[in-house]
Structure 1
């Protein structure tokens, strides 16, 4: 697997926490020194490990917000 670097620029919020302490978080993350993107994924308690997730630019996040606002929950 290729090496990559990440830096959490801003923690926006935590959606849930597992019994083992992993949290599903929305953060603003810079990957490999590039411009930060919104990132939704599972993180180990000290952010030393991560699960699979998705990254979204601002336009994609706005589109997702619009879709979620249309849903009846």
Structure 2
């Protein structure tokens, strides 16, 4: 498995927490020394392990916000 680097540049929001202490978070993350992107995924309490997630550019996040704002929730 290829190694990769990540740096959480900004912790934006915690969306939820599981019974085991893992948290679903929206963060700004730099992957492999690249420009930071918005990232939504589950993290272990120490941020050493992570679950699958999605990474979005600023433009994609804005587009997603517009879609979510139109939903009748």
* Interval containing the TM-score (normalised by the shorter chain): over 0.9
Segments of 5+ residues of structure 2 without an aligned counterpart are none
Cα displacement (A) at 1:4: 0.0
Give the equivalent residue in structure 2 for 1:56. 56
Segments of 5+ residues of structure 1 without an aligned counterpart are none
Q: What TM-score, normalized by structure 1, do the two folds share?
A: 0.99
Cα displacement (A) at 1:52: 0.3
RMSD: 0.3
Distance 1:18 1:71 in 2: 26
Q: What TM-score, normalized by structure 2, do the two folds share?
A: 0.99
